[in-house]
Each structure stands twice: as structure tokens, then as C-alpha cells.
A and B are shown apart, each in its own frame.
Chain A
């Protein structure tokens, strides 16, 4: 099985900060990785698909990069509404495991 190691597990940042989350796969997953945002009590929502493609309607301050085993998710300028938990997920080979999640808080 492919293991997804996401870091950090939690992050505190100020409004306007640049925020970066990383996700490492235990083997090559090409670009078959998505990033999701989950707000408390809500279902997750896809922000980035295939590692670097912005889902329609998602603000351009969100971006993703990487391929093979190393991936990065970035918020260029943190906004108060970005407070949530973020997850990566690989879908190259089942089981399509998620990362452990990153809980983002405002400092």
C-alpha cells in the first residue's frame, strides 16, 4: 500500500501569511494527488486535483505543485475563511489513502 505522510499536523499562522503544507508518498504516484479542505462539521471540498490544477471556483491564492513522491500545497495569503483542516489523497493505486491532515489555525 502507498503511505501518505503529510506535514505539519497543525499550523498556526497570521492573516496574510504564506502557508505551505507538504505531502510525501511512499512510492511514485505520478501526479495522481488531490488536496481537500474540510471545515468543522462539513464535508470536505476539493481544492486542487492532479497535483496542480485549481478546481473551478476555488480562489487563486490556493495552489499545488509536485509529482512522483513529493507534493506541496500553498496558500499565498492566508484569509480568515481558510481556517480548516487540509488533506492530501493519492489515487494512483488502491487503497487511495489520505494524508493525516493539517489543522490550520489563525495566530
Chain B
């Protein structure tokens, strides 16, 4: 069974950093891309960023709203993806979802349960 479990969320002050982890199981992690998607309270889904598998260069892309502040990485030996969030703003408050994605087709097919990040003083 494919599983993705996010961790690391919580309350953080504006300007500080937080790192989310996405621990996966049930599939060959290294064969897939990972996208992070967030949802502010009562709002719609917002794509945050994406990391391709090593076979596709392991490259990343980001939404303009987080580019330069957030970075995505992966550890294929542990089947874990990370979302490093720096210089956090109050508008980054959201539930953050880790997803299994494909490198160029199919899109997202599995989602984690999400972890809440609250940025507040």
C-alpha cells in the first residue's frame, strides 16, 4: 500500500525556519517525483513545488510565492522528501501536503494526510 506521511508541522514565528518531512512506503520512491501542495485555512489548493527523480535530473521547480525561501530535497536511500521553509511569513500558514507525482505524465496520484504549519507571533 502506497503511503506518504508528513511530519514537522507546528507553530513558528514569522521570519523563522521549519523543515517538513515526507516519509514514504509501499513503492519505489526513487522512481517518482514528489510535489508539495498547500491549502490555507478555508482556501483552495496551491502548488508549492516539485522535485523530479534522479533519472530526470532530480531538478526542482517552485511557485513564485515561495521561490528563494523554500527548497525541496530528497533522500532516496531513506524514501523521504523534505520541504525546507525559510523566512516564513504569516501567509504561509496552511496545511502542507506531500504527494507522489510523476516526472512528466499522469500527475499526482497519491497524497499524504497533510501537516499544519501556523506562522504567527
Interface residues of A (CB under 8 A from B): 1, 32-34, 36, 38, 43-46, 49-50, 55, 85, 87, 89, 91, 94-101
Contacts and interface: CB of A to CB of B under 8 A. Distances in A.
Contacts of B101: 91
B45 A96 contact: no
A98 B114 contact: no
Contact of B109 (A1, A46, A98, A101): A46
B113 A43 contact: yes
Contacts, number: 60
Interface residues of B, number: 22
A49 B109 contact: yes
B107 A98 contact: no
Nearest to A44: B111
Contacts of A32: 105, 107
Given A1-B64, A43-B114, A96 B35 contact: yes
A20 to B, nearest CB: 19
30 contacts: A34-B107, A34-B108, A43-B111, A43-B113, A44-B37, A44-B45, A44-B97, A44-B111, A46-B107, A46-B108, A46-B109, A49-B106, A50-B105, A50-B107, A55-B109, A87-B44, A87-B45, A89-B47, A89-B107, A91-B101, A94-B50, A95-B64, A96-B35, A96-B47, A97-B47, A98-B37, A98-B46, A98-B47, A100-B44, A101-B45
A100 B31 CA distance: 30
B111 A50 contact: no
Interface in B45-102: 45-47, 50, 61-64, 97, 101
A96 B113 CA distance: 20
Contacts of B113: 43
Given A43-B97, A43-B113, A43-B114, A95 B47 contact: yes
B9 interface: no
Contacts of B97: 43-44
